[in-house]
């Protein structure tokens, strides 16, 4: 029997919301001439290199909204959309504020919230996460972000920052994520970890390996299955 | 006709929750030998001087939980409660996490949330505000705190920080508070302001002047009356 976490901290992109499907749906409707699947994957692929520029100190502290925009401006050239004006670029960049939740997310979070403090721990900025939660109905107790800690995951200051924010020991916090590298970094800081299978995170054309890692505290198909396992 | 604020940022202690009544109720039940009204007023009176020690640089960045505890340890001596042990002191200090909302707060916020982004802007720390919201059912879209901005109100970084967090102009944000000095500082930063009458903030023995200041954008009896005025 595992100890019960007091706090559940959730990764967002891919874990709680479907970035790939949401971007593909909106882009293929507005810009039917481009390959929306390739566009979504390329935008997301720019994300880690952009954060690496902040981690290395090449860029000062920069929010994800700004990093998404840097990547987007390059992509628009590559995909032949560089005729888009400033207002259209801003609107498109805010697609990350309008991502749809996976079908189980709202019901799963609502059950988990009944027995745990539930918060975000995302590299997304606070404004992005707030707009997303309001639109999708995600019932967070608190929105925490890399922006609060001025450091991006997998920096230990983010995982330990959640514990410190709530005066908790690291072992009282469980990171919930669909990415083994994020979970491994949290585990190295003493957090419990729950892996969520999201086999379609990158779309149906690029199924993801979702096999269990026994190092995680829990392994769940989705957030409802996590609620089952935590007795919520 | 005033412009409509996109974001409503709420002061908490006294504006949304009844710190005086909550402390008096709990302290008079647990420690009937002391003057709970005087105890509550003395604790709150220690708050501005304690924050001043942080603002002046005498103390490094210190959360309200820690400041409340510094004040409490002195008060326990003064009120003859210095026999309390560490666990009891911690529990008592967390009374600020357990404050009751004013009777109109949950219904008022729920209405206001339907048309506005609603967030806290309190000198209380994030963990305190999260525990309070979860217990009292306060339906925030986002919890912002002096802790996020590493500065206490009335520092301009707090008011302007709300606007920056949501990529808003200061004039798109309205501070809602029961304290004219807080509102005046927000106004100096370009925010709209709404004054909430809380005549019993300091208890029935010390009624507060709640007369209108025409410099405020709005003046409301309570949060339901504010929702009426904003058409929510």
Rounded CA gap, A17 and A38, in Å?
A: 19
Higher pLDDT, A89 or A55: A89
Cα Rg for chain A, rounded, in angstroms? 17
Q: Residue written as tokens 């709640």?
A: B210
Q: Which of B12, B15, B28 is nearest to B196 (CA)?
A: B15
Model confidence pLDDT, tens digit, residues A32-87: 999 999 999 999 999 999 999 998 999 999 999 999 999 999 999 999 999 999 99
Nearest of A195, A187, A172 to residue A15 by alpha carbon: A195
Chain A touched by B8 (CB under 8 Å): no
Over range B14-25, report the average pLDDT. Answer: 98
Strands A173-177 and B173-177 come out as: unpaired
| Per-residue pLDDT, A3 | 72
Rg (CA), chain B: 17
Task: Give the CA diameter of chain B.
Answer: 58
Pairs across A and B, CB distance < 8 A: 46
Interface check A38 vs B, CB under 8 A: no
CATH 1.10.1040.10 describes domain B7-18+100-229: no
**pLDDT for B2 beyond 90:** no
**Hey, what are B183's tokens?**
């509102």
Percent helix / strand / coil, chain A, rounded to 5: 50, 15, 40
Helix segments in B34-63, DSSP class H = 36-45, 47-55
User: How close B115 comes to chain A (CA, Å)?
Assistant: 11
- Is B70 in CB contact (< 8 Å) with chain A? no
pLDDT tens for A185-218 read 999 999 999 999 999 999 999 999 999 999 999 9
If you average pLDDT over residues B106-127, what whole number do you get?
98
Q: Is the pLDDT of residue B118 over 80?
A: yes
- Is the Cβ of B62 closer than 8 Å to some Cβ of chain A? no
Its CATH architecture, for the domain A7-18+99-229, is 3-Layer(aba) Sandwich (3.40)
Q: Please check the confidence at residue B45 and state whether its pLDDT lies above 80.
A: yes
| Distance (Å) of CA B66 to CA A158, B33, B100, B153, B179 | 21, 26, 21, 17, 23
A-chain CB neighbours of B144 within 8 Å are 126
Which sequence spans correspond to the domains of chain B? 7-18+100-229, 19-97
Per-residue pLDDT, B228: 97
Q: What is the pLDDT of residues B83-103, one digit of tens each?
A: 999 999 999 999 999 999 999
Residue range B53-81, pLDDT digits in tens: 998 999 999 999 999 999 999 999 999 99
Q: Which of A134, A141, A144 sits opposite B117 (nearest CB)?
A: A134
Please give the average per-residue pLDDT across A16-37, as a whole number.
97
**Confidence at residue B3, expressed as pLDDT on a 0 to 100 scale:** 72
Residue A1: which pLDDT band, with cuts at 50, 70 and 90?
A: low
DSSP at B209: P
List helix spans (H) across chain A: 19-30, 36-45, 47-55, 64-78, 86-93, 105-113, 126-136, 146-149, 156-165, 180-188, 223-229
| Residue among B166, B168, B172 with most chain A CBs within 10 A, to mutate | B166
- Min Cα distance A88 → chain B (Å) is 16
Do the chains contact at B142 and A126, CB–CB below 8 Å? yes
Mutate to test the interface with A, among B64, B65, B167, B168 (most CBs of A within 10 A): B167
How far is CA B123 from each of CA A85, B48, B193, rounded to the nearest angstrom? 41, 10, 18
Question: Quick one: pLDDT at residue A11?
Answer: 98
pLDDT in tens, A102-136: 999 999 999 999 999 999 999 999 999 999 999 99
Pair A46, A74: CB distance under 8 Å: yes
Alpha helical stretches, state H, A94-174: 105-113, 126-136, 146-149, 156-165
pLDDT at residue A201, rounded to an integer: 98
Domain at A19-97, CATH homologous superfamily: Putative phosphatase; domain 2 (1.10.150.240)
């Amino acid at each position: 029997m595992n100890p019960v976490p007091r706090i559940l901290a959730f990764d967002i992109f891919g874990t709680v919301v479907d970035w790939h499907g949401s971007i593909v749906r909106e882009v293929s409707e507005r810009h039917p001439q481009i390959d929306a699947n390739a566009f979504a994957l390329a935008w997301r692929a720019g994300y880690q290199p952009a954060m690496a520029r902040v981690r290395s100190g090449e860029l000062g502290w920069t929010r994800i909204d700004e990093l998404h925009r840097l990547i987007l401006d390059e992509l628009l050239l590559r995909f032949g959309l560089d005729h888009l004006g400033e207002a259209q670029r801003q609107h498109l960049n805010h697609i990350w504020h309008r991502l749809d939740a996976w079908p189980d997310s709202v019901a799963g979070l609502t059950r988990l919230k009944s027995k745990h403090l539930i918060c975000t721990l995302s590299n997304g900025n606070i404004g992005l996460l707030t707009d997303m939660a309001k639109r999708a109905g995600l019932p967070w107790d608190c929105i925490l972000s890399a922006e609060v800690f001025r450091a991006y995951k997998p920096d230990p200051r983010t995982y330990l920052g959640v514990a410190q924010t709530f005066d908790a020991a690291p072992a009282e916090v469980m990171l919930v994520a669909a990415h083994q590298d994020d979970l491994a970094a949290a585990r190295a800081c003493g957090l419990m970890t729950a892996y969520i299978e999201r086999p379609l995170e990158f779309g149906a054309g690029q199924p993801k390996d979702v096999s269990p890692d026994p190092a995680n505290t829990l392994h769940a198909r989705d957030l409802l299955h996590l609620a089952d396992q935590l007795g919520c």
